[in-house]
A and B are shown apart, each in its own frame.
Chain A
Amino acid sequence: MEFKFDIEENKEQIIAFKEFLDSKKDTPGPLMPSLQRAQDVFGYLPKEMLEVISRKLSIPMAEIYGVATFYSQFSFIPTGKNKISVCLGTACYVKGAQSILEEIETQLGIKSGETTKDEVFSIASARCVGDCSIAPVILVNEDVYAKVKKDDIAEILAKYN
């Protein structure tokens, strides 16, 4: 997908982010918290911001890239306004989570890890979210849907459209 990081629109967040980096300079091991903050604030890791991290914390871009690609929660493309996570933990799996994921993929026309063209939804790969006693579980942003059935999907998605 094509996208561009809008520096003008994110002006205030960028200033706040730079201040955050300054405050982390003397903390041991500042890279992970910095990447997490960037992901949180901008919804993904814009290259422009990784360069800021690199300069401020004196860490080479190659190293940052190596770390960022290792962890599955970091994304290099913008994520949708609503993030859907289908839990694929064991408890959810034995209760049919795979077919729930397939249903969502079909309805949105994207695969897990992708974002819809209008950037309204993205499907994130999810590890066990720890709600095993109410499996199968899906999360839309921070809303938890318990004991989900295939028939419920359309209704759930409609709430966020």
Chain B
Amino acid sequence: MITKEKLFEIKEKTKPSLVEKLLESDRVEFRGEDLVLKGEYYKKQVRIALKNCDIIDPTNIDEYIAMDGYFALLKALTEHEPGYVVEEITESLLRGRGGAGFPTGRKWNEAYRYQADKKYIICNADEGDPGAFMDRSILEKDPHSVLEGMALGGYAIGSDQGYIYVRAEYPMAVKRLQIAIDQAREYGLLGKNIFGTGFNFDIELRLGSGAFVCGEGTALMESIEGRRGMPRPKIHRTAHKGLWGKPTIINNVETLANVPVIMNRGAKWFRGIGTEESPGTKVFALVGKVENAGLVEVPMGMTLREIVFDIGGGAQDGKEYKAVQTGGPSGGCIPAELIDTPVDFESLGKIWSIMGSGGMVVMDENTCMVDIAKFFLDFSVEESCGKCVPCREGTKRMYEILDRITKGEGVEGDIERLEELSETVSSTSLCGLGQTAPNPVITTIKYYRHEYEAHIKDKRCPAKSCKALIKYEITDKCIGCTRCAKVCPVVAITGKVKEMHHIDQSICIKCGACYDVCPVDAISII
């Protein structure tokens, strides 16, 4: 079993060589006393949850200890009562990073005050929002921060058993977590009598099996218990009756990764970052049609413009930036004119989107907003667990309407019907999945109604993306190189060498192969 002295010893021994190795690699630099990644991309970032990512070797517990790892746990266990940890987290105003933004301290306090013979703490690592991979990075690159966060949570609420529920699509994260758990057990940082204080805490890994709805807290618990992952009616708080009917705290990966840092540096320090109501930072997966795709961690309240343009470099290939989608299938599309919106829980809610877990998908002029709404609805239809009729049937009907619209078969009244269904589905579903499933439709109608109307009334797709509504034509720029004719899978293109070619619209399947291959951009989409 590791002791206080031994922990210091490991740090003293490992840190100098780690720093030397890092400085030599030229990937990092000092910012104050902190080691941070070097480069333009990282300049505006403030990394708390990702502070060790790409800096330490995640399979080496000593390197985590060298970066002050497990010192927060040591301090809490040897110097403070559990109540102090709850207070400190409450004071920090840390809010759940999984999307809803519920204050972590308040959640912990509920379980802390509730008497029971057994309590559980669960790490929700079922990161399912398409276009989001923040948690994956933390799990793979800094798994110990999550374990330490859980142990601190366990100490705070009086739990001796933790579960990490990871989605099966992340095999590397599972591997790294298992290594980390084994190492922590070997050092006695998990298990019985941690630091000789009498505190017991262990963590077990549980895998998902490809059901998005299991990211919902109660559905996740059902899944761990070995049932279909369907959400429970919220009669009881899970902090009172959760897993196996016992008080259970469920926190997101990024939230837990914040905990040790807050305990180390204090709530006051944490409150100094970000905004008053949403302190700290948030990790975003900046992806889609953006120049510099990747993970960014920035203080709350930074504007979308700073994230998308200053860090992300704007839309790719010089195209026009159109919108950014936040919050995955539960979120909304934020149009270009709202780019100066600060990114925090409150501000995003005001413009009908949500923070969500942190996916930020950039879209350019060629992205059709009706098609995007359809994409998310397709996702919700697939992933609806089927328990609530409005979600199961409503999302399906909405998908069918959207599908018709993108095929040019939309009729007058479709938009209104979508709005009505949205209202019903969101107000009568049991869990967050159903309640928020219509959001992509609501926001795209709100901000891009003209695109819906163009599809329905003019049978036209302004983004030139919906296959049924576009036509490929060869313009007089054609040099007759015959490449398009050769690549056409249905032989719709005819023409002699060095003469202008022609597409037979009745045969064309609009695959776009000719468009991609033309060396002189002679093929236009109308």
Partners in one complex: yes
Could you tell me how many residues of chain A have their Cβ less than 8 Å away from some Cβ of chain B? 37
A36 CB within 8 Å of chain B: yes
A 72-105 contacts with B by CB, 8 A: 72-74, 88-91, 93-95, 99
B131 A133 Cβ-Cβ under 8 A = no
Assembly CA distance A72 to B211 (angstroms): 6
Chain B residue at minimum C-beta to C-beta distance from A85: B169
Within 8 A of B (CB), among A46-88: 59, 66-67, 70-74, 88
B233 within 8 A of A: no
Residues of chain B from 126 to 144 with CB closer than 8 A to chain A in the complex: 127-133, 136
A32 to B210, CA, bound (A): 12
Q: Which of B130, B136, B168, B225 contacts A29 (CB 8 A)?
A: B225
Q: How far is the CB of B126 from chain A (nearest CB, A)?
A: 11
- CB contact between B168 and one of A66, A73, A89 (< 8 Å): that residue: A73
Q: List chain B residues, Cβ under 8 A from A72.
A: 209-211
Interface band, chain B: 35 or more
Check B212 for interface membership: any CB of A closer than 8 A: yes
Q: Do A36 and B168 have beta carbons less than 8 Å apart?
A: yes
CB distance from A151 to the nearest CB of B (A): 9
A-binding segment of B90-98, B268-276, B282-290, B342-350: B282-290
| B298 shortest CB reach to chain A, Å | 16
Whether A73 and B210, one on each chain, are in contact in the complex, defined by CB atoms closer than 8 angstroms, is yes
A127 surroundings in chain B (CB, below 8 A): 128, 130, 169, 210, 212
Q: Which residue of B lies closest to A103 (CB)?
A: B511
Question: Could you tell me if A94 and B130 are in contact, using CB atoms closer than 8 angstroms?
Answer: no
* Minimal beta-carbon separation of B53 from chain A (angstroms): 14
Interface residues of A in 1-60 (CB under 8 A from B): 28-33, 35-36, 39, 59
Output the least CB separation between A67 and chain B (Å): 6
A128 and B132 contact, CB distance less than 8 A? yes
Is B223 interfacial (CB-CB < 8 Å)? yes
CB of B285, distance to nearest CB on chain A (Å) = 6
Residues from chain A with Cβ under 8 Å of B287 in the complex? 90-91, 132-133, 135
Does chain B have a CB within 8 A of A140? no
Contacts of B325 in A (CB 8 A): 90
B274-317 residues with Cβ-Cβ distance < 8 A to A are 285, 287-289, 293-295
- Chain A residues with CB below 8 A from B225, complex form: 28-29
0/1 string, B497-525, CB within 8 A of A gives 1: 00000000000000111000000000000
Whole-angstrom CA separation of A31 from B224 in the bound complex: 9
Assess whether A108 is interfacial by the CB under 8 Å rule.
no
| Interface flags, B185-225, vs A, CB<8A=1, else 0 | 00000000000000000000011111110000000000111
- Whether B328 lies near A90 (C-beta < 8 A) is yes
Contact between A142 and B206, CB atoms less than 8 A apart: no
Q: How far is the CB of B163 from chain A (nearest CB, A)?
A: 9
**Smallest beta-carbon distance B409→chain A, Å:** 19
Taking A90-B361, A91-B361, A130-B127 as known contacts, 20 extra A-B pairs with beta carbons closer than 8 A to each other, sorted by chain A number, are A32-B206, A32-B209, A59-B226, A67-B227, A70-B228, A71-B209, A72-B209, A72-B211, A90-B359, A90-B375, A127-B130, A127-B212, A128-B128, A128-B131, A128-B132, A128-B133, A130-B170, A132-B288, A133-B285, A134-B293
Q: Footprint of B on A, CB under 8 Å?
A: 28-33, 35-36, 39, 59, 66-67, 70-74, 88-91, 93-95, 99, 126-135, 142, 150
